[in-house]
Amino acid sequence: MSVLAAFMVPHPPLIIPEIGKGEEKKIQKTVDSYEAVAREIAALKPDTIIICSPHKETFSDYFLINGEDNAEGSFEEFGAADIRIRVKCDTEFVKAVEDACLKENVMAGTAENDVRQPLDHGTMIPLWFIGRYLDKFNVVNVGISGFSLLEHYHLGVIMARTAEKLGRRTVFVASGDLSHKLKEDGPYGFDDDGPVYDDRLMDLCKRGALGEMLDFPQLLCQRSAECGHRPFCMMSGFLDGKTVKSRVYSHEDVTGVGYGICSFYPDGNSDERKFRDIKIREEELSVAGLPLSDDPYVRLAQRAIYGYVISGRHIQIPDDVSEDMLGKHAGVFVSIHQFDHLRGCIGTIAPTRENVAAEIIRNAVLAASSDYRFLPLREFELDSIEISVDVLGEIEDISSQKELDVRRYGVIVRKDDREGLLLPNLDGITSVRQQVAIAKQKAGIDSSERVSLQRFEVVRHYQDPFAAFEHEHE
């Protein structure tokens, strides 16, 4: 068996004696529980330990995983520079996870050029305890993202599959504190939702009801100021489809921050515990009442947006997607309009995914969730939006504005490392001069600066192919 167990642990720096200088005794139950968990992990003799920390470098639209052969860090920022943690990373495991994520449209992987990422304290504290009892093991260190709870769960599912595929004896450690707002005299003060969050979380852990991790309202998580919920959801995904024996070792709130320690051992398989599949089925029922376009490009963008907004998941490429979308590579822009006003637009000038279908899914989700000009799209808005998909043609260098036509061609302007793009045939854009000026403005290029020019054509797919509205792209 490759999926050995999963553990939920906190990461208060004061738990390290050289940092706490006696203060760690205030959370002695947590210290004792940590020791017990570390001994259990050592007894399992895992090949690989996955550690998810909320304090690792975080991106809104990407899960970052350490990609280098070795990683290290110190507690210097907490006044204990002499304590250093060094680990060997399971690069084969990481590469297999990257490959699986690419196939399943999960935005996860290593940093470009394998930039060295020092271990954060949320990763090092569990390793400090485990390293006292276990000498030889490899680590997969992963951070959280701005994606939904279900997307974190999905990455956990992929990691479990990877462990099984590689035959790795693997343990998952979810590093995270609970609410930071449990006491008036605590470092973060008190909020009524703080104890609510802790009580609800510890109750589901006691019952092993890991699917309930996905049901926590965003507002409850925000008001309680938790930091571990996304790692806990990823951990739950690691145990997807498995019945579990759960144990709560301790829960303390003496510092005003909740520290919970729990273990979960797989104890058989059960389709009733495939919580991701259950959520997807619920989402499909929710989407059933929303009309889908006859245009296959727009229909795919709709399905991607509906799936993400309702259930927080990136859909897979459906089986009924046309060969044209599967066999073509191109840049794609997905635009969302609401009441004739732009509501989100994200695109790629050149292809970044394996085909146009994957490009549409990625950019549709980002247009709905990550266009900095707008709040993320919400479920109640889905029946009032219109979607268009622009598939870019070949990009051509041109020597002057005379080779542009605002109805036929989009434009790309470049100056050094600045770049601006404007799609063709936009509402209110009536002249080439205006088109170029707006593209410069988008790139932060002064109107007086000379730029290199490129043009491109697009094939535009409308939600309603007979609609007469034109798109603005500001």
For the chain, which residues make up each domain, given as ranges?
Answer: 3-270, 289-389, 394-456
Of the candidates 262, 177, 191, the residue with the CA atom closest to the CA atom of residue 224: 191
Q: pLDDT, tens digit, for every residue of 254-297?
A: 999 999 999 999 999 999 999 998 888 777 766 767 888 889 99
How far is the CA of 77 from the CAs of 54, 84, 124, in angstroms?
17, 12, 13
When the pLDDT of each residue in the chain is averaged and rounded to a whole number, the result is: 92
Q: Mean pLDDT throughout 360-378? A: 92
Q: pLDDT, tens digit, for every residue of 60-75?
A: 889 999 988 999 999 9
Q: Superfamily for 3-270?
A: LigB-like (3.40.830.10)
Q: What is the DSSP letter of 471?
A: B
| Fold designation for 394-456 | Dna Ligase; domain 1 (3.30.1490)
Which pLDDT score, from 0 to 100, does residue 314 have? 85
323-346 burial, b for 16+ CB within 10 Å, e for fewer? Answer: eebeeeebbbbbbbbeeeebbbbb
Secondary structure class of 210 (helix, strand, coil): helix
Q: What's the pTM value of the predicted model, to 2 decimals?
A: 0.73
- 432: number of CA atoms within 13 Å, CB side? 13
Q: Mean pLDDT throughout 41-69? A: 94
143-172 burial, b for 16+ CB within 10 Å, e for fewer? Answer: bbbebbbbbbbbbbbbbbbbbeebebbbbb
Q: How confident is the model at residue 111 (pLDDT cuts 50, 70, 90)?
A: confident
Strands 259-269 and 63-64: unpaired
Asked whether residue 110 carries a pLDDT value surpassing 70, the answer given is yes
Alpha helix segments (H runs only) across 131-271: 149-166, 193-207, 218-224, 229-238
User: Which CATH architecture does the domain made up of 289-389 adopt?
Assistant: 2-Layer Sandwich (3.30)
How far is the CA of 318 from the CAs of 323, 373, 379, in angstroms?
12, 30, 22
Q: Mean pLDDT throughout 415-428? A: 88
Count of beta carbons in the 10 Å neighbourhood of residue 212: 16
Integer Cα distance of 410 and 439 in angstroms: 10
Q: Is 42 exposed, middle or buried (0-12, 13-18, 19+ CB in 10 A)?
A: middle
Q: pLDDT, tens digit, for every residue of 317-326?
A: 988 898 999 9
Integer Cα distance of 460 and 474 in angstroms: 17
